[in-house]
Amino acid sequence: MSEGSGGSSLAFGQVVIGPPGSGKTTYCHAMREFLGRLGRRVAVVNLDPANEALPCPCALDIAELVTLPDVMDSLGLGPNGGLIYCMEYLEANADWLRDKLQGLRGHYVLFDCPGQVELYTHHESLKNVFGQLAKWNFRLAAVHLVDSHYCTDPGKFISVLCTSLSTMLHVELPHVNVLSKMDLIEQYGKLAFNLDYYTEVLDLSYLVDHLASDPFFRNFRRLNEKLVEVIEDYSLVSFVPLNVQDKQSMRQVMQAVDKANGYSFGDQEHRSLEALMSAAVGADFHFSSTLAVQEKYVQSQDKAVEEEVMDL
């Protein structure tokens, strides 16, 4: 913790966002454990009123204020409308959130957010809540999780790029895009290009050409070209690969987020980090970089091809 210009202490943290099933809650609790081993005091705050099966207790749960089932039952709303109402209710009761967060001063806070995409692309309530947190001296970075299986479908990947860009522009926070579940990527199918093509979002014209090989998408080539131009003109979207079971992968995400939100760690945490990474040498996972992930993926594909040849 450091002192702000007004004399009040700063708090650092992450708002973890992304579509349903992208692994937000899993990420929050894995990151809490990882950072805790480095000596940080970490608290998880659940801001998802639909999240009823929390794997671990949270320091603060929006269910104390409002829950999605209650809203749906009392107002006759569906899941999407109910979530929007819950976020508007949270915004209207920002004092409740501020009072609850007072007890977490001195902690690095992970905010586990809802999975409804509209909340991050054009609805204002959650964005305004983040703005309030900034006024309360929270220095936050948005961690946007995207399931890595979208890389196997060029059409879906272009859609993910558009959603990520829209989210970055709307949320207005320092932003880190993460490809989650990298340990499962070989199960999703063969990638058309090397993994760094997707993480660095390289020349997307190749993706449009690949997409045009599908008769269905051939008629939409012009549309896809224009979408790709928008993404490339902004030149903002890139991804960090993540496997929550691998310490080196978690470290890379942590360092990207620390750079984004301005968190600076002292010598003690640095020593803890070095000790943790030394202990990771014998671990089952060795994703030290995007290249390491790619090598594992390629090896699995080569093995599959060999097995097919042997069967013939």
The pTM of this model reads 0.82
Per residue in 111-135, pLDDT (tens digit) is 999 999 999 999 999 999 999 999 9
Per residue in 2-43, pLDDT (tens digit) is 434 444 588 999 999 999 889 999 999 999 999 999 999 999
Contact 16, 24 (CB under 8 A): yes
Angstrom CA distances, 116 to 39, 173, 250, stand at 33, 18, 25
- Tell me the domains of the chain and their CATH numbers: 11-200+240-267+276-299 (3.40.50.300), 202-236 (no CATH)
pLDDT band at 287 (very low <50, low <70, confident <90, very high): very low
pLDDT band at 217 (very low <50, low <70, confident <90, very high): confident
Beta-sheet pairing, 175-180 with 138-147: parallel
pLDDT band at 283 (very low <50, low <70, confident <90, very high): very low
In SS3 terms, 234-277 reads as: HCCCCCEECCCCCHHHHHHHHHHHHHHHCCCCCHHHHHHHHHHH
Per residue in 42-89, pLDDT (tens digit) is 999 999 999 877 777 899 999 999 999 999 999 999 999 999 999 999
pLDDT score recorded for residue 288: 44
Contact 192, 157 (CB under 8 A): no
- Compute the CA torsion angle 111, 115, 116, 121 (nearest 10 deg): 60
Average pLDDT value for the chain: 85
Orientation angle between helical segments 68-75 and 79-92, nearest 10 degrees:
110
